Chains A and B, each alone.
Chain A
């Protein structure tokens, strides 16, 4: 039987997300998906979900939710402030909420926190995904951020054993991130000075950054001429005419016309989804083979609950 979580207060920008919508980018449907996919996966694992299940993504100020039935929940983030019925609860572990309980997430800690519920958030999948595509206006709840009064369907599940995260997977706030990156498809269009500037400088995240991308301030690079629009991976470090880099997050558009100097490695991409305006970031160039191997090992480990979860 299906029940529904009631949204009492939506928070600043709260939306249903999963790993993303793939297979439709050629029609202009963005991949969307959680900005911090590592936290999404960990949250799902803590409540025994498939990693592809949908969760609630909260940005800066989270929601207030009423649960219709007893269920297991996990809030994953960098030290978020969370309470059930006004009493503080622990994040980054499985917790149990009862029918009628009110979960409040006034602060996400870093930029985002994820609320996973056993069985997943069962909004209707659109084009194979429950992710909210805010630009295309599809997925999640009516293709938009949550509002007060929205109902999020969930299913009854028998409680499983509760878990916490192994220490190396505990989310940590990184206000001075070093992101590894490989050379981008247009790296050759940039001067040696520009590439040295990109990989030898500290940049500061600007207001106006969102789930589509981070706008950075720092030494301006010499912008090359624009390119013909083409597909673009999450993590692309593109240089617009201002010379100030923009790093694309999973919620990016399907195509873009700015040259891509570098692409952030998947291992470090989730950390970018946790940066706030004022945080700083620098880039470290790594070789392609090294990045591919490190990325594979990281994925194999992340997707294996026996290597991410620890007994409570």
Chain B
């Protein structure tokens, strides 16, 4: 399998497939993860895709990072599904106000109105690149350059579940209450992750495409009640 860099650790490895937030590179990351997962290598504890990297966590007793590199070197390039495996997911968001305290400041910094920011955010279709940070947090991109703003200088101690944020060209929804430094522009009434006896059910999967649409506060309250009832 071709890769651009293989970083060996004592009980871990990082395999890099290129640079930049790019769907083509990211698809190779997921294809490699799927291929290695299917092999069921002993001693591999976790396979964690990032934007350009596949992080491999090892138990360090049975398999070393060097062993994994030799295996990866021998593998053929995995087939890449150019169309992508995912589905299109529509996510309702109540933008601004108490749900998105950073919307107005972000609009001011960007020399536009809050309405313009919402329109630009809703105009794009986003790719889900990978999950991480907290259970069900989907890293999505890419956000229009005109509204792409860096993280807050000082992260918030507690961001409420459902909050929608922007960090550079990334956008994402906090699935559970957690600390966080992304600029909060709105909130969805949907639950991103539901724990069930059969395992966690995620609203989003890597490879999915996402469209946001703006809803009123009344609609938000109605949908949140509906979600809670399920």
**Interfacial residues, chain A to chain B (CB-CB below 8 A):** 22-31, 126-127, 133, 135-138, 182, 184-185, 228-233, 253-255, 263, 265-266, 288, 291-292, 295-296, 299-300
Contacts and interface: CB of A to CB of B under 8 A. Distances in A.
Given A182-B10, A296-B60, A229 B48 contact: no
Interface in B138-156: 139
Contact of B48 (A25, A126, A137, A292): A25
Interface string B196-223: 0001101000000000000000000000
A26 B49 contact: yes
Contacts of B54: 231
Interface of B: 7-12, 14, 20-21, 33, 45-55, 57, 60-61, 64-66, 130-137, 139, 175-176, 178, 193, 195, 199-200, 202
A254 B176 CA distance: 15
A230 B53 contact: yes
A27 B136 contact: yes
B200 A127 contact: yes
Contact of B14 (A230, A288, A296): A230
A299 B132 contact: no
A29 B135 contact: yes
B61 A231 contact: no
A254 B199 contact: no
Contact of A26 (B61, B131, B199): B131
30 contacts: A22-B45, A24-B46, A25-B48, A25-B57, A26-B46, A26-B48, A28-B133, A28-B175, A127-B199, A133-B135, A136-B176, A182-B9, A185-B14, A228-B50, A229-B50, A230-B14, A230-B48, A230-B51, A231-B48, A231-B54, A231-B57, A233-B12, A263-B9, A263-B12, A265-B10, A266-B11, A288-B10, A295-B11, A296-B60, A299-B60
Contacts of B50: 228-231, 255
